[in-house]
């Protein structure tokens, strides 16, 4: 009357009135079972390969993923537990998030830190991104290999200095007389020649709201621009000399060559690096800001805290770090930084997805 | 064939040279200044007379650092952390990267994601600090009370470096691996006799990345090792501590004439001497590693 659709794997036995598995299907099932069996054997046979993974997985689990477990601390009262294990704290729900957004003291501080994170990152991108490209284009102009190598060695160097040393140099070279020394820093002097406010020079330019960001960005450029130019330089020298020749025959001057030969050739590298930068936008280097904000070298009368500087320098990480000094505020600090890092993660994943779509190149 | 140099080209080149030279000088100037100030007299440093060369040469500030026991203990701690930290990180990174580079590894994408996720999202300072304190406590309970070990074992992870290694291992032709396998090599032998020799350049680069970040590490060592255990500090923490201690107004006005400082040289000269000492090892290996870094960056994490 009606025919079963599963004819291909079932056989109807007229005599007994029962269905049984077709031989083809039995073979298929057997292969399927063997596949799983061979996979199991594969793992067993390959156990050395899997054992090699264990140390790495363990290290990442213990010191990267366990801290993520600690994040539940932002829903718990940090004063209730033993202060070491977040599991011993009592649940409080969203109280600390509420405090972060509504508290009269902490909410403005949080938004200030959040704003500063964005502004610092944005300026970093605005000035920090084109500089390495410009350096790479300029390096390409240097005909002598020896001269170029010497200059490259010089500009890569700051990347290898520690943050402590970089910030020590910044603090001392930009210090003002108010920092208890008889002379202003050498670089402060240069700034004052170019018309920096003399009262601010006295105070130490790093500690002024007006100049802090400029100094931060300049020192960042100093640290990273040379090193970051490596990637772009590799892209620039990969441009075939015949392209230049063809452009020259067509009557292109230097700028036209830049515009029509070099820039299009390195564009894909530029796009990838730009997307990478946008992805890392919110992970501003807190170590450096922490060190620049430190209590050392502060102007007189500041009571050990450069409040004026906080206005522009404090980012979410340093804000959280400061909150952690007080046990009761730990949960709020955790919540603040988690929000920041979640937005950061969305930026990374989003930018990577765009990169994948736009250029078939993705980072991960 | 000689071509007439165009005016635009000439101008461009002059601008390029000019800016590059300025930038290159800017990059080395602070270090030259630090060296000069380290060997200049108190008057010259405090009076702002040191611009480029040492003025009123003295070597006492440097000698002060050379004879500062705590500085050298901390210096040896940095050497310790750099050496063991690099060996440790390189060890598990190479093993893990080798396994991840194998197509036959089940759950390869999952393990990759496990690694890469840590690049996207980090828990933040407070949870990380709690975690390190717990680690230190556990280490203490099994008899490792020196917090240096917490710094060595628990810190300095870098997923980018592992991906760099993985990409390099993936580039090794599988025929060579098969040949070794037919000759009866075990997995570990294939790694040590085939893969590691064939990826020497990448491994050197990654080792240097790990090493430099260890040498320069500050924040977590500072957070985890308290002042009472200053003999376990790395040198970067000591330098920062000195900066805070002796060159700050918070400690009572004009420190250069402070009672606690009755030496014939400026505190900043001492600080610069420390900076010079801390930078020397990097400067010493820098010319040799420079080309590796350039290579390493270009290999990049970029895939497919």
Domain boundaries, chain A: 27-90, 105-359
Compute the average pLDDT of residues B194-213.
Answer: 89
Q: Is residue B304 part of a domain?
A: no
Residue A7 to chain B, least CA–CA distance (Å): 35
User: Quick check: A238 and A146 in contact, CB under 8 A?
Assistant: no
Burial of A302 (0-12, 13-18, 19+ CB in 10 A): middle
User: Quick check: B234 and A180 in contact, CB under 8 A?
Assistant: no
Contact B256/A182, CB-based, under 8 Å? Answer: yes
CA angle B81-B87-B88, nearest 5°? Answer: 85
Task: List, as ranges, residues 85-144 from A with C-beta within 8 Å of B.
Answer: 85-86, 134-135, 137-139, 141-142
Domain range for B81: 7-299
- Which CATH number covers residue B247? 1.10.3720.10
Q: Say how far apart CA A344 and CA A336 lie, in whole Å.
A: 13
Q: Tell me the pLDDT band of B100, cut-offs 50, 70 and 90.
A: very high
Residue in A closest to B35 by C-alpha: A169
A50-95, pLDDT tens digit by residue? 999 999 999 999 999 999 999 998 998 888 888 788 888 889 888 8
- The answer to whether A59 contacts chain B (CB < 8 Å) is yes
Q: Which residues of chain A have pLDDT under 50?
A: 1, 296-305
The predicted pLDDT at position A362 comes to 54
Which residues of B fall within a CB distance of 8 Å from A338? Answer: 123-124
- The answer to whether A84 contacts chain B (CB < 8 Å) is yes
pLDDT(B302) > 50: no
Which residues of A fall within a CB distance of 8 Å from B240? Answer: 164, 168, 291, 294, 296
Distance set, CA B78 to CA A168, A291, B225, B281 (Å): 18, 19, 13, 11
The predicted pLDDT at position B286 comes to 80
Residue B99 to chain A, least CA–CA distance (Å): 6
Q: Say how far apart CA A205 and CA A196 lie, in whole Å.
A: 9
Max intra-chain CA distance, chain B: 78
pLDDT(B223) > 70: yes
Instruction: Give the CATH fold of the A105-359 domain.
Output: MetI-like fold (1.10.3720)
Q: Say how far apart CA A62 and CA A359 lie, in whole Å.
A: 36
Q: Say how far apart CA B226 and CA B150 lie, in whole Å.
A: 13
Bridge partners, A76 (sequence order): A91
Residue B111 to chain A, least CA–CA distance (Å): 8
Q: How confident is the prediction for chain A on average, in pLDDT?
A: 82
Contact A254/B6, CB-based, under 8 Å? Answer: yes
**Global pTM value:** 0.84
For residue A144, give every residue at least 6 positions away whose Cβ sits within 8 Å of its Cβ, in sequence order, or none: none
Contact B96/A56, CB-based, under 8 Å? Answer: yes
Q: Is residue B143 part of a domain?
A: yes
Q: Which of B19, B95, B116 sits opposite A138 (nearest CB)?
A: B19
The predicted pLDDT at position B1 comes to 43
Contact B278/A70, CB-based, under 8 Å? Answer: no
**What count of other Cβ atoms lies within 10 Å of the Cβ of residue B186?**
12
Task: List, as ranges, residues 137-176 from A with C-beta within 8 Å of B.
Answer: 137-139, 141-142, 150-158, 160-165, 168-169, 171-173
Structure tokens at A350: 């989003």
Q: Say how far apart CA B260 and CA B251 lie, in whole Å.
A: 11
B140-182, pLDDT tens digit by residue? 999 988 999 999 999 989 888 998 899 889 888 889 889 998 9
The CA dihedral of B24, B27, B29, B33, to the nearest 10 degrees, is -160
Contact B96/A86, CB-based, under 8 Å? Answer: no
Nearest Cα to Cα of residue A312 among A328, A292, A334: A292
The more confidently predicted of residues A309 and B229 is B229
Domains identified in chain B, total number: 1
The predicted pLDDT at position A199 comes to 73
Contact A163/B218, CB-based, under 8 Å? Answer: yes
User: Quick check: A139 and A152 in contact, CB under 8 A?
Assistant: yes
B14-31, pLDDT tens digit by residue? 999 999 999 999 999 999
């Amino acid at each position: 009357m009606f025919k079963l659709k599963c004819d291909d794997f079932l056989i109807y036995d007229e005599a007994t009135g029962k269905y049984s598995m077709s031989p083809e299907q039995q073979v298929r099932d057997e292969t399927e079972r063997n596949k799983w069996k061979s996979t199991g054997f594969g793992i067993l046979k390959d156990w050395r390969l899997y054992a090699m993974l264990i140390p790495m997985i363990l290290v990442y689990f213990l010191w990267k993923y366990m801290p993520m477990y600690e994040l539940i601390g932002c829903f718990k009262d940090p004063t209730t537990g033993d202060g070491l294990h977040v599991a011993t704290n009592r649940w409080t729900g969203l109280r600390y998030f509420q405090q972060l957004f509504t508290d009269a003291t902490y909410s403005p501080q949080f938004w200030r830190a959040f704003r500063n994170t964005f502004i610092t990152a944005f300026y970093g991108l605005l000035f920090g991104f084109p500089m390495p490209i410009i350096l790479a284009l300029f390096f390409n102009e240097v005909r002598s290999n020896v001269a170029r190598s010497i200059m490259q060695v010089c500009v890569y160097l700051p990347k290898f200095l520690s943050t402590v040393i970089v910030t020590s140099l910044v603090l001392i070279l930009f210090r003002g007389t108010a920092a208890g020394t008889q002379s202003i820093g050498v670089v402060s002097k240069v700034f004052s020649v170019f018309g920096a406010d003399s009262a601010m020079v006295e105070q130490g330019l790093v500690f002024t709201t007006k100049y802090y960001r400029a100094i931060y960005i300049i020192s960042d450029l100093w640290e990273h621009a040379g090193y970051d130019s490596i990637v772009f330089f590799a892209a620039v020298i990969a441009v075939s000399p015949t392209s230049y020749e063809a452009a020259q025959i067509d009557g292109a001057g230097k700028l036209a060559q830049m515009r029509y030969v070099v820039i299009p050739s390195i564009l894909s590298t530029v796009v990838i690096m730009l997307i990478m930068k946008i992805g890392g936008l919110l992970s501003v280097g807190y170590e450096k800001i922490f060190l620049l904000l430190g209590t050392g070298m502060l102007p007189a009368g500041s009571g050990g805290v450069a409040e004026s500087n906080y206005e522009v320098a404090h980012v979410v990480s340093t804000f959280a770090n400061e909150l952690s000094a007080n046990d009761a505020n730990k949960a709020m600090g955790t919540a603040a930084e988690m929000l920041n890092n979640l937005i950061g993660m969305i930026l990374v994943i989003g930018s990577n997805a765009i990169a994948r779509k736009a250029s078939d190149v993705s980072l991960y | 064939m000689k071509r007439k140099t165009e005016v635009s080209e000439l101008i461009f080149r002059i601008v390029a040279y000019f800016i590059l030279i300025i930038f290159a000088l800017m990059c080395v100037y602070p270090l030259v200044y630090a060296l000069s100030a380290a060997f200049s007299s108190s008057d010259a440093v405090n009076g702002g007379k040191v611009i480029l060369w040492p003025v009123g040469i003295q070597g006492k500030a440097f000698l002060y650092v050379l004879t500062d026991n705590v500085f050298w203990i901390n210096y040896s701690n940095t050497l310790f952390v750099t050496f063991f930290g690099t060996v440790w990180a390189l060890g598990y990174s190479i093993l893990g990267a080798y396994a991840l580079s194998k197509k036959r590894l089940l759950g390869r994408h999952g393990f990759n994601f496990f690694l890469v996720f840590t690049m996207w999202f980090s828990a933040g300072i407070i949870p990380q600090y709690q975690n390190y304190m717990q680690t230190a406590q556990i280490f203490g309970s099994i008899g490792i009370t020196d917090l240096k070990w917490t710094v060595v074992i628990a810190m300095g992870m870098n997923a980018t470096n592992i991906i760099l290694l993985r990409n390099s291992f993936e580039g090794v032709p599988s025929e060579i691996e098969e040949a070794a396998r037919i000759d009866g090599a075990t997995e570990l032998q294939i790694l040590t006799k085939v893969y590691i020799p064939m990826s020497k350049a990448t491994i050197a680069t990654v080792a240097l990345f790990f090493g430099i970040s260890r040498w320069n590490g500050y924040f977590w060592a500072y957070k985890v090792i308290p002042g009472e255990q200053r003999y376990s500090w790395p040198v970067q923490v000591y330098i920062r501590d000195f900066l805070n201690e002796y060159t700050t107004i918070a400690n009572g006005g004009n420190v250069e004439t402070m009672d606690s400082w009755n030496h014939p040289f400026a505190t900043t000269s001492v600080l610069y001497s420390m900076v010079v000492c801390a930078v020397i090892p990097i400067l010493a290996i820098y010319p040799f590693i420079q080309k590796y870094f350039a290579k390493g960056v270009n290999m990049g994490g970029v895939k497919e």
